[in-house]
Amino acid sequence: MPFYIFGKNYICKQGKALICLYKWEIPGVKTTNKQQNNCMKTVDDFNFKGKQALIRVDFNVPLDKDLKVTDANRIEAAKPTIEKILEDGGSVVLMSHLGRPEGREEKFSLKHVVSKVAEVVGVEPKFVNDCIGDEVKAAADDLEPGEILLLENLRYHKEEKAGDEDFAKKLSELGDIYVNDAFGTAHRAHASTTVVAKFFEDKCFGYLLAKEIKSLDKVLHSKEKPVTAVLGGAKVSSKITVIENILDKIDNLIIGGGMTYTFILAKGGKIGNSLVEEDKQELALEILKKAEEKNVQVHLPVDSVIADSFSEEANTKIEKVDAIPDGWMGLDVGPDTLKNFEAVIKESKIILWNGPLGVFEMDKFSKGTIELGHAIANATKNGAFSLVGGGDSVAAVKKFGFEDKVSYVSTGGGAMLEMLEGKSLPGIAAISQ
Ligand code: AMP
């Protein structure tokens, strides 16, 4: 019977770790051992009975002026992992950052989220006023199975962001098994997200982080075809590394948003006063050439909703994307473009969407983004896998109510972009290696 040997300390037997049978390529994680790369430990690989889990969660939630949590999504996202550990008969120490405090700023205290955690998880967490120190250690040692301890904001200590080893070691003394369930900070080599892992023999991904990795893997290493990436948003320059990295993995590249006009200008079109990065024209042409070499079909807009000012009060009309008069700017894709894009999406089996197709914040220029959302939702209903990620596309999906109609909405903007760029995420590498 085959054994998969991964890492120095682990031998994972075929029968137990089903996860090994599902081939997970971890985007951006370079390791010398192929099997290791394919075996990701999750909380399902451990029985937490009598064990204490130290979980890095992302409770960086928005608070209103009365310091009440206004959006508990991130707490809800961590619930399955916490529940699994408690149901096993374990105890849980939760650590997170909140905002960007300069020292001990009261408004960034995690005590403001205690009641929301209690409401969401159904267990009132104990709270300590710090995340390291004797009092914290004593509170952690006193924890009984079924109980939760929430630590104070990690970023009250500058050692957290500095990835300080001593600080990480002190954190590591608060649990038996380290669980990382914070995708939003997985691209940071901070003490609690990365460095702390080295002090644990037993460490794994929480459900949320595992789902993020699995979803991205599905897009980047899909056997199903065609794979379509929709890249919109403002600038070519912020997406260039992503485009270069994914060209090998996709069949269609749909380009929309402000970056359209750099491509159109580079191809000799007239773009009026549309957003453009003049110095990126050569780069745009290079992308088009590379895409052709790799047999990737690039779908650029053919028409635009153009406006005589960047405002909701602007006069608007539809114009060919390469014939925009001076004084006018393209702020959304036009109807012919949408028809083309919809046809591509309809045929796609895997869809990645990053960046809106227009200035979706203004009603007048939101149609392209909304219609694309509909098309992706329909394709998903018909069996395609769709992943939406990266700041503004997530905001757009939420604003227009597509959140539950796509396969997965990534919770970590920066982390997801770095994974798409093919970079190694320290928080993921620390657990995989
Ligand atoms: P990004 O963060 O690069 O994904 O960019 C998102 C921003 O791009 C959003 O705020 C949109 O309003 C903006 N955007 C999308 N299309 C255009 C456009 N045609 N002209 C100017 N800005 C745009």
Ligand 1 atom 20 nearest Cα: 258
Structure tokens at 301: 């807009």
| pLDDT, tens digit, 9 for 90 and up, residues 44-64 | 999 999 999 999 999 999 999
Residue 24 confidence (pLDDT) above 90? no
- Domain residue spans of the chain: 42-205, 214-420
| pLDDT, tens digit, 9 for 90 and up, residues 161-219 | 999 999 999 999 999 999 999 988 999 999 999 999 999 999 999 999 999 999 999 99
| pLDDT, tens digit, 9 for 90 and up, residues 324-349 | 999 999 999 999 999 999 999 999 99
CB 94 within 8 A of CB 55: yes
CB 405 within 8 A of CB 377: yes
Structure tokens at 104: 């001990």
**What does residue 322 show for φ and ψ, rounded to 5 degrees?**
-105, 20
Ligand 1 atom 10 nearest Cα: 359
Q: Is 391 a catalytic residue?
A: yes
Find the radius of gyration of the CA atoms of the chain. 24
CATH of the structural domain 42-205, one choice from 3.40.50.1260, 1.10.3720.10, 3.30.1330.20, 3.40.50.970: 3.40.50.1260
Residue 394 confidence (pLDDT) above 80? yes
CATH of the structural domain 214-420, one choice from 3.30.70.2740, 3.40.640.10, 3.40.50.1260, 3.40.718.10: 3.40.50.1260
Whole-model pTM?
Answer: 0.84
- Rounded distance from Cα 257 to ligand 1 centre (Å): 6
Q: Do domains 42-205 and 214-420 have the same CATH topology?
A: yes
The answer for 382, left when phi > 0, alpha when psi is -120 to 50, beta otherwise, is: alpha
Ligand 1 atom 21 nearest Cα: 258
Tell me the average pLDDT of the chain: 90
Q: Is 235 a catalytic residue?
A: yes
| pLDDT, tens digit, 9 for 90 and up, residues 259-312 | 999 999 999 999 999 999 999 999 999 999 999 999 999 999 999 999 999 999
Q: Is 289 a catalytic residue?
A: no
Position in ligand 1 atom list of the atom nearest CA 332 = 19
DSSP secondary structure of 81-135: HHHHHHHHT-EEEEE---S--SSS-GGG-GGGGHHHHHHHHSS--EE-S-SSSHH
Burial of 27 (C-beta count, 10 Å sphere; 0-12/13-18/19+): buried
Among 408, 392, 399, 422, which residue's Cα sits nearest to residue 246? 422
Evaluated on CA atoms 133, 134, 136, 141, the torsion sign reads positive
Higher-pLDDT residue of 23 and 295 is 295
Share of the chain above pLDDT 90, in %: 79
Which pLDDT belongs to residue 333? 98
Higher-pLDDT residue of 408 and 1 is 408
How does DSSP classify residue 424? P
Residue 6 confidence (pLDDT) above 50? no
Give ∠ CA 260-230-31 in degrees, rounded to 5: 120
Name the active-site residue from 41, 56, 74, 188: 74
Pocket perturbation via mutation, ligand 1, pick of 262, 273, 359 by most ligand atoms within 8 A of CB: 359
Using CB distances shorter than 6 Å, the residues near ligand 1 are 233-235, 238, 257-258, 275, 330-331, 355-356, 358-359, 361, 391-392
CA pair distance 242, 421, nearest whole angstrom: 4
Which pLDDT belongs to residue 432? 85
- Rounded distance from Cα 356 to ligand 1 centre (Å): 6
CA pair distance 309, 177, nearest whole angstrom: 56
Q: Which residue has the tokens 């982080």?
A: 209
CA pair distance 152, 158, nearest whole angstrom: 13
Residue 38 confidence (pLDDT) above 60? no
Among 280, 198, 250, which residue's Cα sits nearest to residue 7? 198
Name the active-site residue from 7, 269, 414, 422: 414
Name the active-site residue from 235, 364, 399, 405: 235
CA pair distance 163, 428, nearest whole angstrom: 15
DSSP secondary structure of 345-393: HHH-SEEEEES-SS-TTSGGG-HHHHHHHHHHHHHHHTT-EEEE-SHHH
Structure tokens at 114: 């205690």
| pLDDT, tens digit, 9 for 90 and up, residues 93-130 | 999 999 999 989 999 999 999 999 999 999 999 999 99
